[in-house]
């Protein structure tokens, strides 16, 4: 190689220079996150939500529900609570605010609130609920929004879980059974007859990775059979419930372990009777209102257990000037927007429904009637959502899915499984220091597993 008296050649220098430039460029790419989804534009707001997370729901929110709001809003959605927790924790640690408005379920907000990551929303709720605000929030939901005597969020959307069936299945109902007032035993008799008649298992439960079967156990099966959840976890009533579920599962399509959403299997005819979240069933009811009917969850020996779902809006504590965030919350809870929300994404407003109903799309109309019937039934037994579990809510759910897997999928012994899982459940409650919540007797001190 020809050398200019041993010094670096011009080419070497050029190489070094371009390498340095490339390195600079690379690191700039790596560190520049302004293009990442959810980072704040100079004058826009980031609205991060764990609900309304499917593509259609997100598009409805962006195009219809946010329409007419002056400031540009970057709607970021991901159904994983863990990711939202991590993001807000990271923001708080770094002293930044990459999120201006949070939309989440009551239980998720409770976790954030307990960690001191959210602004006190009492002033906003009071302003909206009284006088000029004109939001007629339902008392029950306002109560759920109160934590430590303050309002942790503004009630935004509500729903519950219900059942749906293909009308072809109704002819196989047990004699004398009314689909609007089924008992758990009648449901089992029905799905057994269906299985015999059609030759295949026709019950569907969302036991897949994204399914909400855990809520069926916590808010429906346990309260209906035992009158409680934690305080009756390993009681004889609970053993009877697991017997029932094991028998019912034998009439369920084994593909249930892959189902996250029951609308699709109902429409395709893989299952004829299903339980799921109202919002996850609505597509089936909307697509074939004449062929698919909705009906309330069944009633058990201790009542008709059901779980209200409430989503709320809040502002992270790290937001320096919450004016624009509050403006967005005002927009989203406006009665006109609540009506749009109901019509486009089938989430009900936690406000007085009068004036909103009527002229609804058929599937949503049917769900509204079913939910109303379930909530106002004389034997209705509402669970309040688990509050006070903090970062143990995932571990809490794990106890129920593990128990289901061991008893129902693995055919394990019921009393011994309940004994070991009951100990695990007590460990979770102890670590969280959580008090009991309804339908367990509410009292002082850490909730005891019974």
Partner 1 sequence: MAEQTLSRSATTTGETPAAVPRLRRWVPYLLLAPSIVYLAVFFASPMLQAFGLAFTGTTGRFGLESIRAMLGDDRFWPSVLTTLLLLVVLLPVQFALALGMGLVVNARLRGSGFWLYVFLLPLGVSELGAGIAWYSIFVEQGWLNTVLQGLGIIDTPVIWLDYRDPVRVVATIVLAEAWRSTSLILIILVSGMRAIPRDYLEAAEVFHAGPWQKLRHVLLPLLRPTIRTALIVRTVLAFEVFATVVALGGTGTDVLATQANRAYTEFQDAHLASAYGLVILVVSLAAVAVILVSLPIRRERGE
Residues 379-418, one symbol each (x = binds partner 1 by CB under 8 A, - = not), give ------------x-xxx-xx--xx--xx--x---------
By beta-carbon proximity to partner 1, the closer residue of 138 and 255 is 255
With CB under 8 A as the contact rule, the residue among 57, 91, 202, 270 that binds partner 1 is: 270
- Report how far residue 334's alpha carbon sits from residue 339's, in angstroms, rounded to the nearest whole number: 9
Nearest residue to 246 via CA among 47, 395, 417: 417
Under rule CB under 8 A, residue 197 binds partner 1: no
List C-alpha distances in Å: 148 to 37, 309, 378: 34, 20, 31
Q: Which one, 5 or 42, has the nearer CB to partner 1?
A: 5
Residue 115 as a binder of partner 1 (CB under 8 A): the answer is no
φ, ψ of residue 80 in degrees (nearest 5): -75, 120
Binding-site size for partner 1 (CB under 8 A) equals: 47
Long-range contacts: 34-37, Cβ < 8 Å, 24+?
37/74, 37/76
- Single residue of 37, 68, 269, 362 touching partner 1 by CB under 8 A: 269
Of 6 and 358, which has the nearer Cβ to partner 1? 6
Q: Which of 2, 28, 30, 354 forms a contact with partner 1 (CB under 8 A)?
A: 30
- What secondary structure, in 3-state letters, does 274-310 show? EEEEHHHHHHHHHHCCCCEEEECCCEECCEEEECCEE
**Pair type for strands 380-382 and 150-151:** unpaired
Question: Measured from the CB atom, is 295 or 404 closer to partner 1?
Answer: 404
Minimum CB distance to partner 1 smaller for 126 or for 210: 210
209, 358, 359, 378: which one binds partner 1 (CB under 8 A): 209
Alpha carbon distance 209, 142 (integer Å): 32
Query: If you write DSSP's letter for every residue of 240-258 in order, what string do you get?
Result: HHHHHHHHHHTTB-GGGGG
SS3 80: coil
Tell me: does residue 26 bind partner 1 (CB under 8 A). yes
What are the residues whose beta carbons fall under 8 Å from the beta carbon of 119, sequence distance 6 or more? 314, 315, 316, 317, 319, 322
Q: How far is the CB of 257 from partner 1 (least distance, A)?
A: 4
User: Which of left, alpha, beta for 116 (phi over 0: left; psi -120 to 50: alpha)?
Assistant: left
- 180 or 258, CB closer to partner 1? 258
**Touching partner 1, residues 239-268 (CB under 8 A):** 253-255, 257-259, 268
Applying CB under 8 A, which of residues 129, 165, 207, 374 lies at the interface with partner 1? Answer: 207
> What whole-number distance in Å separates Cα of residue 276 and Cα of residue 265?
12
**Nearest residue (CB) to partner 1, 283 versus 367:** 283
Strands (E), 79-180: 101-105, 146-147, 150-151, 154-159, 161-166
51-90: contacts with partner 1 (CB under 8 A):
80-83, 85
Return residues touching partner 1 (CB under 8 A): 4-8, 12-13, 15-16, 19, 22-23, 26-27, 30, 80-83, 85, 199-200, 207-209, 211, 253-255, 257-259, 268-270, 391, 393-395, 397-398, 401-402, 405-406, 409, 431
């Amino acid at each position: 190689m020809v050398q200019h008296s041993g010094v670096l050649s011009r080419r070497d220098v050029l190489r070094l220079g371009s390498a340095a430039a490339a390195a600079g460029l690379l690191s700039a790419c790596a560190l520049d996150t302004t293009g990442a989804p959810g980072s704040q534009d100079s004058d826009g707001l980031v609205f991060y939500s764990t609900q309304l997370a499917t593509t259609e729901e997100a598009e409805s929110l962006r195009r219809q529900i946010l329409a007419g709001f002056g400031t540009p809003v970057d709607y970021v959605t991901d159904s994983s609570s863990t990711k939202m927790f991590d993001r807000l924790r990271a923001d708080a640690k770094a002293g930044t605010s990459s999120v201006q408005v949070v939309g989440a379920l009551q239980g998720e907000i409770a976790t954030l609130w307990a960690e001191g990551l959210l602004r006190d929303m009492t002033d906003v709720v009071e302003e909206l609920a009284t006088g000029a605000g004109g939001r007629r929030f339902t008392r029950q939901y306002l109560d759920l929004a109160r934590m430590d005597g303050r309002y942790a969020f503004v009630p935004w959307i509500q729903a519950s879980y219900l059942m749906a069936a293909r009308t072809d299945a109704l002819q196989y109902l047990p004699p004398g059974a009314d689909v609007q007032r089924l008992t758990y035993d009648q449901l089992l008799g029905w799905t057994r007859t269906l299985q015999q008649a059609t030759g295949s298992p026709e019950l569907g439960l969302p036991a897949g990775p994204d399914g909400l079967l855990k809520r069926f156990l916590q808010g429906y099966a346990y309260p209906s059979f035992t009158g409680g959840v934690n305080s009756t976890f390993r009681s004889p009533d609970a053993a009877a419930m697991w017997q029932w579920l094991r028998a019912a599962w034998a009439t369920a399509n084994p593909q249930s372990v892959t189902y996250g959403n029951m609308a699709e299997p109902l429409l395709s005819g893989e299952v004829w009777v299903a339980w799921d979240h109202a919002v996850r069933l609505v597509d089936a009811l909307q697509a074939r209102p004449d062929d698919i009917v909705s009906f309330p969850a069944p009633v058990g020996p201790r009542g008709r257990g059901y779980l209200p779902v409430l989503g709320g809006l809040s502002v992270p504590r790290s937001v320096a000037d919450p004016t624009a965030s509050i403006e967005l919350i005002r927009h989203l809870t406006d009665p006109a927007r609540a009506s749009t929300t109901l019509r486009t994404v089938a989430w009900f407003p936690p406000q007085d429904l009068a004036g909103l109903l009527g002229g609804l799309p058929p599937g949503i109309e049917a769900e509204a009637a079913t939910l109303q019937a379930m909530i106002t039934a004389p034997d209705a037994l509402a669970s309040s959502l688990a509050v006070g579990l903090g970062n143990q809510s995932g571990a809490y759910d794990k106890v129920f899915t593990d128990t289901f897997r061991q008893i129902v999928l693995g055919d394990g012994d019921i009393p011994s499984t309940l004994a070991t899982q009951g100990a695990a459940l007590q460990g979770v409650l102890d670590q969280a220091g959580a008090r009991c919540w309804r339908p367990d007797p509410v009292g002082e001190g850490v909730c005891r597993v019974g």
